[in-house]
């Protein structure tokens, strides 16, 4: 039988081929590139599912495809491209390809039916975006992951700035590019640090850097550290450097400012960025090298605290926004904060679980928002909407499912994953004040999330239509309803893959599939199991009320109660025929929230005040780097200017030169050969 | 028997006369004749060495070179004609438009 492992490169190459085809096929393609993209991503999806099944049957593997540099001497590093297929990456491959396929289909309705210009460029971007993310997911070493990480960033730049003729998108694209690049700068330094410290950047195996780091901390191996720094300190620094890239890509505080602006891109692109590709890349990277992070309690605590803070911080801003996609943007930042909180507090499985459920319900919400935006003729202001419930039933019901999942209402997918994150943070946080603080912030974000989510739902779909557009919305077709329905079902049922609280309370064994899956229950790669990570976990577990079951129940009850409270508040304030803007009563606070805590202004201020540094870097770049390059070229230019004058066009001169040359040669040979 | 050195000196002298002609003359026909002289200098060499070693290959080769020289004259005369047609004279220095 042909093994699925042979087809892993094809998962990445198929969308890449669709990128090439769309790039060169231009306007001659059927549906201007959409069919190629759908076929390619559907092919990737099929292969990913096959890979998932084969991993289920114990066929996890790591393989090197191409070695592009082999070092020499003391620096005997090899730089390679390879695939690491274990339960985590197989799951992520499926998530990315499901969302990418549905986004491609949705684009038929959102882009083609709306007669957008220049669509092959759009589909080329989507293809490359999907290919880079899939390449990032299968990466088996940090350097390859970094390369695809950068490609993902480039594609987001291209797609956010798709409508480059308008003023907003190009500047939003530039901002996304620069802010994430600021984080990636630290990531790059981190990659170099990993190479110099361990001599390898592989994720898996006995010679991988997490394994070497573990051995070094146990005193079984020695690694290089700068200036004789203690190994644990140095690992913390390296971990934080790599974390810089994660914070930029996953839009964590303080590098989250690019994400709300990225809403300038076409809505399907926002769905792809937020659910499965760009933003997910950061969290996935931490999960991928979790064996390294878990060794450093300081880094873990920082991850947890940043995550918890971002979850609350972003949620508060979502409360006052007027535009549908803005609310969703802040909810994305907030939800990725939860994932970071889970990772930092030792809840590896919980983070992957939330990554999975969030991918589905956030893709659903964005595509639903896209459907509303089409219906509203590209007006995104929620105060112009209202009453769309009866006009767009499919969109309404699927959007509602996604919103319930986002708000964490039982039994939708988001409830299970968010509950597990908060549970992990709680049991590990009772001894650790920093984790506990992060937990409290995460808990406070729950009612806020439920509130802004349902404020959005009620304003958009309930009440009386508040504008002529909302009274007579544009109808949407199957290519919008289809993806929405698929994701709607997924948003309801995905929680079923990991019913840990049910298992713990009722004692039913074997229904925590994701736990078993990530614990290499069905086979995986040695050292990359959640079991192994739990052993390395620096935290001890504490329980409230004297046991695990009461803690589970109490945690779930508190988070569900808070979520319902937020929902009820939104219901009371906004589920009326003609709602008022109640957040106006917040006065100055609303002003602060509406302006995103003046974070953008702060960053501009920082940029202005560090102009001297940038200026000196510019002088160095223009003077020294460009000076060397320009110097070389001007030397050749100048000398060729002189030398070309021997081409006089006069035959006699050529004959003379020939003769002189021959004579010189004869003399030189004579002298060297000793003829005289 | 005349020693081969004499032939070589003769050949070198003829060659240098040809070279001198090419370097100093401006008339294209002189050019052609000078090139002819240089070719014949080479032929003298070939024949001289063939005579020296009693090997007929050199003489055969000399015949080839003479045939080649005839062909060369045909082409050369053609070039001179074209030169005259384009520049109105056969001064080689006038045709200097192919340069930097």
What pLDDT, in 10s, does the model give residues A12-25?
899 999 888 888 87
- Contact list in B for residue A656 (CB cut-off 8 A) is 23
Q: What is the largest CA-CA distance in chain A?
A: 113
Report which of residues A376 and A564 the model is more confident about.
A564
| C-alpha neighbours within 13 Å on the C-beta side of residue A654 | 11
Which residues on A lie below 8 Å from B98 (Cβ)? 649
Q: How many CB atoms sit inside 10 A of residue A625's CB?
A: 10
Show residues of chain A in contact with B22, CB under 8 Å.
Answer: 652, 655
CA distance A633 to chain B (A): 20
Q: Which two tokens stand for residue A44?
A: 């990737």
Q: Which token pair is A650? A: 């006069």
Specify the pLDDT at position A628. Answer: 93
- pLDDT-derived band at A553 (thresholds 50, 70, 90) equals confident
What is the structure's pLDDT at A74? 67
Q: Is the pLDDT of residue A271 over 70?
A: yes
d(CA A294, CA A529): 12
The mean pLDDT value for B19-24 works out to 91
**Closest chain B C-alpha to A644 CA, distance in angstroms:** 7
Neighbours of A511 (CB within 10 A): 15
B54: contact with A, CB 8 A cutoff? no
> How confident is residue B73, by pLDDT bands cut at 50, 70 and 90?
very high
DSSP, res A622: I
Rounded Cα–Cα distance for residues A179 and A156 (Å): 12
On average, the pLDDT of chain A sits at 85
Partners of B99 on chain A (C-beta within 8 Å) are 647-650
3 state SS of A332: helix
Q: Which of A450, A445, A552 is nearest to A501 (CA)?
A: A552
Instruction: Please give the average per-residue pLDDT across B46-51, as a whole number.
Output: 91
pLDDT above 70: residue A265? yes
Contact between A319 and A383 (Cβ < 8 Å): no
B23–A655 CB contact, under 8 Å:
yes
How many Cβ contacts (< 8 angstroms) between chains A and B? 29
Q: Which residues contact A45 (CB under 8 A, 6 or more apart)?
A: A94, A97, A98, A100, A101
> What band does A465 get if pLDDT is binned at 50, 70 and 90?
confident
Task: Please tell me if residue B79 touches chain A, with a CB cutoff of 8 Å.
Answer: no
Q: Which residue has the tokens 């003359």?
A: B25
d(CA A252, CA A246) in angstroms, rounded, equals 8
User: Measured between beta carbons, which residues in chain A are less than 8 angstroms from residue B96?
Assistant: 648-650
Identify whether the C-beta of residue A269 lies closer than 8 Å to the C-beta of residue A373: no
CA distance A556 to A547: 14
pLDDT at A71 over 80: no
Residue A472's contacts (CB-CB under 8 Å, 6 or more residues apart) are none
* A470 pLDDT tier (thresholds 50, 70, 90): confident
Task: Indicate the range of A54-58, A134-138, A384-388 predicted with least confidence.
Answer: A384-388
Residue of A nearest to B96 (CA): A649
- Chain A contact set for B100 (CB, 8 A): 644-645, 647
Q: Are residues B93 and A644, on separate chains, in Cβ contact within 8 Å?
A: no
Strand partners, A82: A64
Through-space distance between the first and last CA atoms of chain B, rounded to whole angstroms: 55
Mean pLDDT, range A364-380, rounded to an integer: 85
Q: Do B96 and A655 touch (CB under 8 A)?
A: no
Average pLDDT rounded to a whole number, residues A179-198: 89
B93, B97, B100: residue with CB nearest A652: B93
Find chain B residues with C-beta within 8 A of A640's C-beta: none
Contacts of A651 in chain B (CB under 8 A): 31, 92-93, 95
Q: How far is B92 from chain A (nearest CA, A)?
A: 7
Instruction: Kindly tell me if the per-residue pLDDT of A261 is higher than 90.
Output: no
The residue of A641, A650, A657, A661 whose CB has the most chain B CBs within 10 angstroms, and thus the best one to mutate to test that interface, is: A650
Query: pLDDT over 70 for what percent of chain A?
Result: 98
Average pLDDT across chain B, whole number: 90
Q: Record the tokens describing residue A528, joined without a space.
A: 């990359």
Neighbours of A561 (CB within 10 A): 12
> Measured between alpha carbons, how far is B18 from B36 in angstroms, rounded to an integer?
8
In chain A, the N- to C-terminal Cα span, in Å, equals 79
CA–CA min distance A626, chain B (Å): 30
Question: What is the per-residue pLDDT for B63?
Answer: 94
**Is ipTM strictly over 0.90?**
no
Mean pLDDT of A430-458: 88
Distance from CA of B66 to the nearest CA of A (A): 23
Confidence of residue B40 (pLDDT cuts 50, 70, 90): very high
Which whole number is the average pLDDT over A111-134? Answer: 84
Grade residue A660 by pLDDT with cuts at 50, 70 and 90.
very high
Q: How far is the CA of B15 from the CAs of A266, A352, A667, B31, B71, in angstroms?
A: 81, 90, 18, 13, 20
Least confident of A474-478, A516-520, B77-81: A474-478
A contact test, residue of B18, B90, B93, B97 with most A CBs within 10 A: B93
pLDDT band at B95 (very low <50, low <70, confident <90, very high): confident
Residues of A in contact with B23 (CB under 8 A): 652, 655-656, 659
Please report how the helices A267-275 and A278-288 are oriented relative to each other, as an axis angle in degrees rounded to 10. Answer: 10
Cα–Cα distance measured from residue A477 to residue A498, given in angstroms and rounded to the nearest whole number: 34
Picking from B22, B95, B97, the nearest residue to A655 by CB comes out as B22
The verdict on B22 touching A (C-beta cutoff 8 Å) is yes
Cβ separation of B100 and A645 shorter than 8 Å?
A: yes
Residues of chain B positioned with their CB less than 8 A from the CB of A644: 100
Range list of β-strands (E), A104-170: none
Residue of A nearest to B100 (CA): A647
Residue A1, pLDDT above cutoff 60: no
Minimal CA separation from B19 to chain A, in Å:
9
CB A278 within 8 A of CB A152: yes
* A314-348 per-position pLDDT tens digit: 888 888 888 888 888 899 999 999 999 999 888 88
Contact criterion met (CB < 8 Å) for A659 and B19: yes
C-alpha A224 chain-centroid distance: 31
Per-residue confidence at B76, pLDDT binned at 50, 70, 90?
Answer: very high
Taking CA–CA distances from B24, the nearest residue in chain A reads: A652
* Cβ atoms A182, A248 nearer than 8 A: yes
Nearest CA to CA, how far is B22 from chain A (Å)?
A: 7
Q: Note the pLDDT of residue A663.
A: 92
Using N-to-C axis directions, what is the helix angle for A478-493 and A393-407, rounded to 10°? 30
The pLDDT score that the predictor gives to residue A666 is 92
Of residues A264, A99, A658, the one with CA closest to residue B22: A658
Distances (CA, A) of A609 to A134, A153, A415, A614: 39, 27, 44, 10
């Amino acid at each position: 039988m042909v093994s699925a492992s042979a087809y892993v490169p094809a998962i990445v190459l198929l969308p890449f081929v669709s990128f090439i085809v769309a790039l060169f096929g231009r306007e001659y393609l059927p549906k201007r590139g959409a069919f190629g993209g759908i076929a390619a991503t559907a092919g990737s999806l099929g292969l990913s599912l096959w890979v998932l099944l084969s991993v289920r049957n114990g066929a996890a593997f790591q393989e090197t495809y191409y070695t592009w540099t082999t070092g020499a001497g003391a620096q005997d590093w090899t730089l390679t491209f390879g695939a690491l297929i274990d339960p985590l990456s197989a799951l992520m491959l499926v998530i990315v390809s499901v969302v990418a396929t549905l986004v491609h289909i949705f684009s038929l309705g959102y882009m083609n039916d709306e007669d957008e210009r220049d669509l092959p460029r759009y589909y080329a971007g989507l293809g490359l975006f999907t290919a880079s993310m899939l390449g990032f997911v299968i990466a088996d070493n940090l350097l390859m992951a970094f390369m695809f990480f950068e490609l993902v960033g480039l594609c987001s730049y291209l797609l956010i700035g798709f409508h480059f003729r308008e003023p907003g998108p190009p500047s939003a694209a530039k901002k996304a590019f620069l802010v994430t690049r600021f984080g990636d700068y630290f990531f790059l330094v981190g990659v170099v640090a990993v190479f110099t410290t361990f001599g390898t950047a592989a994720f898996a195996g006995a010679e991988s850097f997490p394994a070497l780091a573990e051995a070094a901390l146990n005193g079984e191996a020695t690694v290089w550290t700068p200036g004789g720094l203690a190994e644990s300190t140095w690992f913390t620094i390296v971990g934080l450097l790599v974390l810089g890239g994660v914070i930029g890509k996953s839009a964590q505080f303080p590098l989250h400012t690019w994400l709300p602006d990225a809403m300038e891109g076409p809505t399907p692109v926002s769905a792809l960025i937020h659910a499965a590709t760009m933003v997910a890349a950061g969290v996935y990277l931490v999960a991928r090298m979790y064996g390294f992070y878990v060794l450093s309690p300081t880094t873990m605590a920082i991850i947890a605290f940043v995550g918890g803070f971002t979850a609350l911080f972003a949620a508060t801003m979502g409360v006052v926004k007027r535009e549908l996609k803005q609310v969703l943007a802040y909810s994305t930042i907030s939800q990725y904060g939860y994932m970071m909180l889970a990772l930092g507090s030792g809840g590896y499985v919980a983070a992957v679980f939330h990554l999975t459920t969030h991918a589905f319900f956030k893709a659903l919400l964005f595509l639903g928002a896209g459907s509303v935006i089409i219906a509203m003729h590209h007006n995104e202001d929620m105060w112009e909407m209202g009453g769309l419930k009866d006009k767009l039933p499919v969109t309404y019901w699927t959007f509602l499912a996604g919103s319930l999942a986002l708000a964490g209402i039982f039994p939708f997918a988001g409830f299970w994953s968010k509950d597990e994150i908060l549970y992990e943070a709680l049991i590990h946080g009772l001894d650790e004040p920093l984790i506990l603080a992060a937990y409290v912030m995460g808990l406070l974000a729950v009612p806020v999330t439920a509130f802004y989510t349902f404020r959005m739902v009620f304003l958009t779909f309930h009440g009386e239509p508040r504008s002529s557009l909302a009274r007579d919305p544009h109808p949407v077709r199957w290519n919008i309803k289809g993806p929405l329905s698929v994701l709607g079902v997924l948003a309801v049922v995905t929680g079923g893959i990991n019913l840990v609280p049910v298992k713990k309370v009722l004692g039913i064994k074997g229904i925590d599939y994701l736990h078993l899956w990530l614990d290499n229950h069905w086979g995986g790669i040695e050292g990359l199991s959640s079991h192994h990570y739990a052993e390395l976990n620096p935290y001890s577990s504490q329980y409230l009320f004297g046991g695990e079951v009461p803690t589970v129940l109490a945690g779930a009850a508190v988070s569900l109660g808070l979520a319902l409270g937020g929902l009820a508040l939104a219901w009371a304030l906004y589920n009326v025929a003609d709602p008022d803007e109640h957040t106006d009563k917040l006065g100055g606070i609303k002003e602060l929230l509406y302006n995103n805590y003046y974070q953008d202004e702060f960053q501009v201020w920082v940029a202005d005040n560090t102009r001297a540094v940038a200026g000196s870097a510019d002088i160095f770049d223009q003077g020294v780097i460009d000076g060397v390059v320009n110097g070389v070229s001007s030397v050749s230019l100048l000398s060729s200017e002189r030398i070309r004058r021997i081409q006089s066009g006069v035959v006699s001169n050529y004959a003379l030169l020939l003769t002189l040359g021959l004579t010189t040669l004869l003399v030189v040979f004579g002298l060297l050969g000793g003829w005289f | 028997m005349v020693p081969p050195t004499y032939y070589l000196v003769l050949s070198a002298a003829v060659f240098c006369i040809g070279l001198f002609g090419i370097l100093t003359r401006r008339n294209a026909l002189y050019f052609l004749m000078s090139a002819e002289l240089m070719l014949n200098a080479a032929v003298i060499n070939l024949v001289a060495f063939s005579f020296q070693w009693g090997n007929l290959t050199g003489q055969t080769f000399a015949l080839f070179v003479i045939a080649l020289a005839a062909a060369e004259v045909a082409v050369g005369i053609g070039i001179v004609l074209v030169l005259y047609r384009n520049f109105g004279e056969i001064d080689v220095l006038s045709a200097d438009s192919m340069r930097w």
